[in-house]
Amino acid sequence: MNDSMSRRELLKNTGRVAAATALAGVMIPQHVYAAEDNTIRLVLIGCGGRGTGAAQNALSVNNGPIKLVGMADVFPNRLNSSYQAIKGQFADKVDVPDDHKFIGFDGYKKAMDLLRPGDVAIMTTPVAFRWVHFTYAIQKDLNVFMEKPTTVDGPTTRKMLALAQESVKKNLKVGVGLMCRHCTARRELFDRIQGGQIGDLLMLRGYRMAGPTAHAFCGPVPANMSELLYQIQEFHAFLWASGGAVSDFLIHNIDEMCWMKDAWPVECKASGGRHYRGDYVDQNFDSYAMEYTFPDGSKAFMNGRCEEGCHQEFATYVHGTKGCAVVSQAGHAPSKARIYKGQKFDKENLAWSFPPPEPNPYQLEWDHLIAAIRSNTPYNEAERGAKASLVTSMGRMAAHTGQVITYDQILNCEHEFAPDVDKLTLDGPAPLIADAKGRYPVPQPGLNKTREY
Ligand SMILES: NC(=O)c1ccc[n+]([C@@H]2O[C@H](COP(=O)([O-])OP(=O)(O)OC[C@H]3O[C@@H](n4cnc5c(N)ncnc54)[C@H](O)[C@@H]3O)[C@@H](O)[C@H]2O)c1
């Protein structure tokens, strides 16, 4: 097993999670918790859809006192509606007075300054800011939950890999929002696949084919809004902010394939294109097809599309010499994890399926993180999250340049999409400036061979 969490570790951790849960409220966690106060404090940085959900999952963990004490965003309305939603559900676990609500690009510092070492910073802004926020959390000895993806290009991945090492050295606990890795059904599927139940894996397939999704398509900047805040609001449209539709949407399926294969791919070739663009000015293609190659020569194919009127599918499949398996079908949860004999997904060939109901993986990832904090068990997904983000970017760069891109090429690529993202100010310029027609640079495969734009 290379650098993903080994099965042995998983089993160990599962045991520890159970042990930690059994001792809930009894154990004094990391040395930083004084015996008289074992409350874990949280701050939420990036109070949008997922941030609100992540905070709600965190406050639902049932193994000791936990509370939300600070929030930061760049839009007051996002922060306020998130606050209302969380407070509405967890009145007595939310203690965020107005002077603990921070608006602006430096809000993350002020929020983290409210915490003691060993408390938890939740990082759910668009990915562009992840390395900036993670750097400060490590300085302050904070545990972290950060959403996927965690990097968008080679340079930010190198930064995150270095930070990951630092966070491990400091024994910080770091969760990364690839929540399917915490799914009970998929973990059993992984054991069965690694145990040889479907033979040697030859081919894996991922599909994220839908209509226009989230902010992947966007029009020109409205007259009443700053270009920077517009790009942040429409982050799926801009490669610096999100890594685009590929990094934001396809990473889950790509990561599931790498997990089941228990390897990271060494290279990728890919194609994609833009159709029916109208007035949209975002940087995405609307279809992507990637062929990843693993070290043993086997393949993973990823199909991504955001187009109306076309076949739609959300799934991850695995094919081995003796059988095939469903890792995901029709969404993240329930997984619908199943194993079939042969290569056809026919009812009569069904060999195994996970008995419903499945626990929610968004809750499990928090149960596991907080249990690890309370039991002071090693727990750090930062390196794995950076590698999953990197191989996703490898596929995107292969499509955007029209070249075969290797793991080492994307890792060592010098094109950093937003090198000064740590210096942004609310009234300052955006990392990407529109031309006179309000348009942004888009990838040109075959013409731009070494940079995506
Ligand atoms: N694991 C999953 O299934 C899953 C699902 C949805 C989103 N996500 C991830 O969560 C992240 C956020 O996505 P979302 O859908 O919640 O987007 P969103 O736009 O709803 O929320 C992002 C929030 O961050 C704020 N923000 C942006 N820059 C900031 C900064 N520098 N400092 C403070 N706040 C800032 C925005 O104003 C916004 O309120 C993305 O990385 C996304 O990929 C993961």
List, in order of start, the domains of the chain with CATH numbers. Answer: 7-181+362-380 (3.40.50.720), 183-358+390-423 (3.30.360.10)
- DSSP string computed for 295-327: TTS-EEEEEEEE-TTS--EEEEEEEESSEEEEE
Ligand 1 site, residue 45, Cβ cutoff 6 A: yes
- The pairs formed by 81-84 with CB atoms below 8 angstroms and a separation of 24 or more are 81/47, 82/44, 82/47, 82/48, 82/51, 82/52, 82/55, 83/47
Read off the pLDDT of residues 173-225 as tens digits, 9 standing for 90 and up.
Answer: 999 999 999 999 999 999 999 999 999 999 999 999 999 999 999 999 999 99
Average pLDDT value for residue range 32-60: 89
Read off the pLDDT of residues 325-364 as tens digits, 9 standing for 90 and up.
Answer: 999 999 999 999 999 999 999 999 999 999 999 999 999 9
Q: How far is the CA of 194 from the centre of ligand 1 (A)?
A: 34
* Residue 149: cis peptide before it, omega within 30 degrees of 0: yes
- Lowest-pLDDT range of 31-35, 120-124, 446-450: 31-35
Q: How far is the CA of 196 from the centre of ligand 1 (A)?
A: 39
Atom of ligand 1 nearest to the CA of 179: 1
Ligand 1 site, residue 246, Cβ cutoff 6 A: no
Q: Indicate whether 229 pLDDT > 80.
A: yes
Q: How far is the CA of 234 from the centre of ligand 1 (A)?
A: 10
Read off the pLDDT of residues 242-301 as tens digits, 9 standing for 90 and up.
Answer: 999 999 999 999 999 999 999 999 999 999 999 988 899 999 999 999 999 999 999 999
Ligand 1 site, residue 331, Cβ cutoff 6 A: no
Residue nearest to atom 36 of ligand 1 (CA): 46
Buried/exposed code over 251-264 (b: 16+ C-beta within 10 A; e: otherwise): bbbbbbbbbbbbbb
Residues 6+ positions from 384 with CB-CB distance below 8 Å = 3, 4, 5, 176, 178
Pocket test for ligand 1, best of 43, 57, 73, 146 (most atoms within 8 A of CB): 73
Residue nearest to atom 7 of ligand 1 (CA): 50
Give backbone dihedrals phi and psi of 251, rounded to 5 degrees, phi first: -55, -35
pLDDT of residue 257: 98
Ligand 1 site, residue 445, Cβ cutoff 6 A: no
Instruction: Judge contact between 122 and 57, C-beta under 8 A.
Output: no
How far is it, in rounded angstroms, from Cα 234 to Cα 7?
A: 39
Total number of residues shown for the chain: 453
* Residue 295: cis peptide before it, omega within 30 degrees of 0: no
Strands (E), 65-129: 66-73, 101-103, 120-123
Burial of 194 (0-12, 13-18, 19+ CB in 10 A): middle
Q: How far is the CA of 146 from the centre of ligand 1 (A)?
A: 10
Q: Indicate whether 24 pLDDT > 70.
A: no
How far is it, in rounded angstroms, from Cα 191 to Cα 206?
A: 20
How far is it, in rounded angstroms, from Cα 105 to Cα 118?
A: 24
Strand, coil or helix: 106: coil
Read off the pLDDT of residues 110-169 as tens digits, 9 standing for 90 and up.
Answer: 999 999 999 999 999 999 999 999 999 999 999 999 999 999 999 999 999 999 999 999
Q: How confident is the model at residue 37 (pLDDT cuts 50, 70, 90)?
A: confident
Average pLDDT value for residue range 301-314: 97
Q: Indicate whether 15 pLDDT > 90.
A: no
Q: How far is the CA of 192 from the centre of ligand 1 (A)?
A: 34
Q: How far is the CA of 264 from the centre of ligand 1 (A)?
A: 26
Q: Indicate whether 22 pLDDT > 50.
A: no
Q: How far is the CA of 319 from the centre of ligand 1 (A)?
A: 34
Residues 6+ positions from 428 with CB-CB distance below 8 Å = 228
Per residue, the 3-state secondary structure of 21-41, as one string, reads HHCCCCCCCCCCCCCCCCCEE
Pocket test for ligand 1, best of 43, 133, 147, 160 (most atoms within 8 A of CB): 147
Average pLDDT value for residue range 303-327: 97
Q: Indicate whether 18 pLDDT > 50.
A: no
Q: How confident is the model at residue 36 (pLDDT cuts 50, 70, 90)?
A: low
Note if the pTM is more than 0.75: yes
Burial of 341 (0-12, 13-18, 19+ CB in 10 A): middle
